[in-house]
Amino acid sequence: MFSTLRKLKLFTPRPLKKSYDVVIIGGGVHGLATAYELAKRGVRNIAVLERFYIGAGSSGRNTAIIRSNYRTSEGVAFYDESVKIYEKLSVELDMNVMFSQRGHLTFAHTDQAITGLRVRAETNQILGVNSRVIFHDEIAKLVPALDLSDLPRYPILAALYHPPGGVIRHDAVVWGYARAANRLGVEIHPYTNVTGISVSNGAVKAVQTTRGEVQTGIITNQTAGWASTIAAMVGLKLPIVSHPLQALVTEPLKPFLDPVLVSATLNCYVSQTDRGELVIGAEIDPYASYSNRSTLPFMEQSASHILELLPSIGGVKVLRQWAGVCDMTPDYSPIMGTVPYMKGFVLDVGWGTYGFKAGPVSGKRIAEMIATGRTPDIIKPFSIERFAKGNLLGEKAAAAVSH
């Protein structure tokens, strides 16, 4: 992989300077998109600090699903803007990000779940997002391999069909943003671990790293898995608990599965990549941990649950497994914006299991906020102050398989 990265000439390595106008912590899709959008707005002196290689964290450990069929009007509007940016991203970044809008199906296995999907469909439609509830006749045409009989323990009754949803090549997105940001003068510093943040009179002043100290008046925390650690460096305790999320990939099969399939009841989801592999995942592990290790119980459970949907794939071999760390908030919505009493500290964290799909819109809107000093309306509902005010944004019903 490293030789591929060298050939792509993604960015120019540079010495770390003594000061920057903006320091972005986290070299994943959120941090790199923000750097790119800031540079597009004419902000020049920007450093992205990444503790490992770019895209090494959750940007490289997700299952690359893009969709906007959320439950809350705030969430739908936000992710819809992201899908629209993703649709044009290959041209914008001059990098083929392989966004394949093959549709997304969320199954209902009970009457109550159908009611939940109807509510989501209506919220989506009111906001102009293409989603509707469909039944066996249409589901069977979209996925002939599905078991739609009443033999499974939880037969499929209906689905929320979201045609614009799909999958993307996640590393291409990260590499595209890195290269485009670098062309606009952004400095990207991999292998640069943040060890502390200096604060004076309620404002950020400098970042300590394993490569020296840099002065700055603006720091963004755009990390996943490390959000609480970085926030604690300015004395801020985030309402976040970190859990592993595991996934696995099978051997390649001939193309037979077009849409992404999701079942909260069976606790699993599956998509087929352009290479033919099946990408299979489940809910976050039930215990808090920073571990990136895979487990045998996850593989056994996911395989048996997916077989309830697609019995014909019994015997397919699993090639590899992995895990990422997800920062879960109490309402399954992210935390974005400035922090009261800590000038210059910007949050774009708490992305749970839905961070990759939000990278482009977060980058655009966080950059707008930094460049103009005004918080865009679309990110206002996600402020950290919502926890003190009790304005939670319950998004659990639409967070992959989380309910």
Task: Please report whether residue 263 would count as binding ligand PYC according to CB under 6 A.
Answer: no
Task: Please report whether residue 353 would count as binding ligand PYC according to CB under 6 A.
Answer: yes
What's the rounded Cα separation, in Å, for the pair 139 and 239?
Answer: 39
Task: Please report whether residue 38 would count as binding ligand PYC according to CB under 6 A.
Answer: no
Residue nearest to ligand PYC (CB): 400
Minimal distance in Å, beta carbon 23 to ligand PYC? 29
Task: Please report whether residue 63 would count as binding ligand PYC according to CB under 6 A.
Answer: yes
Q: Using the rule CB under 6 A, which residue among 121, 133, 199, 400 binds ligand PYC?
A: 400
Task: Please report whether residue 354 would count as binding ligand PYC according to CB under 6 A.
Answer: yes
Q: Is 257 left (phi over 0), alpha (psi -120 to 50) or beta?
A: beta
Using the 8-state DSSP alphabet, how is residue 7 labeled?
H
User: What's the longest Cα–Cα distance across the chain?
Assistant: 66
Runs of H (alpha helix) within 22-61: 29-40
Q: Are 284 and 245 in contact (CB under 8 A)?
A: yes
What's the rounded Cα separation, in Å, for the pair 389 and 373?
Answer: 23
What's the rounded Cα separation, in Å, for the pair 48 and 209?
Answer: 12
Task: Please report whether residue 123 would count as binding ligand PYC according to CB under 6 A.
Answer: no
> Which stretch, 41-49, 61-69, 140-148, 389-397, contacts ligand PYC (CB under 6 A)?
61-69
User: What number of chain residues touch ligand PYC (CB under 6 A)?
Assistant: 9
In the block, tokens 């972005």 appear at 24
Q: Using the rule CB under 6 A, which residue among 31, 75, 281, 324 binds ligand PYC?
A: 281
- Listing DSSP states for 201-263 in one string gives TTEEEEEEETTEEEE-S-EEE--SSSHHHHHHTTTPPPS-EEEEEEEEEE----S---SEEEE
Minimal distance in Å, beta carbon 65 to ligand PYC? 4
Task: Please report whether residue 65 would count as binding ligand PYC according to CB under 6 A.
Answer: yes
Binding mask 67-96 for ligand PYC (x = CB under 6 A): x-----------------------------
Minimal distance in Å, beta carbon 103 to ligand PYC? 13
Q: Which residues bind ligand PYC (CB under 6 A)?
A: 63, 65, 67, 269, 281, 353-354, 399-400
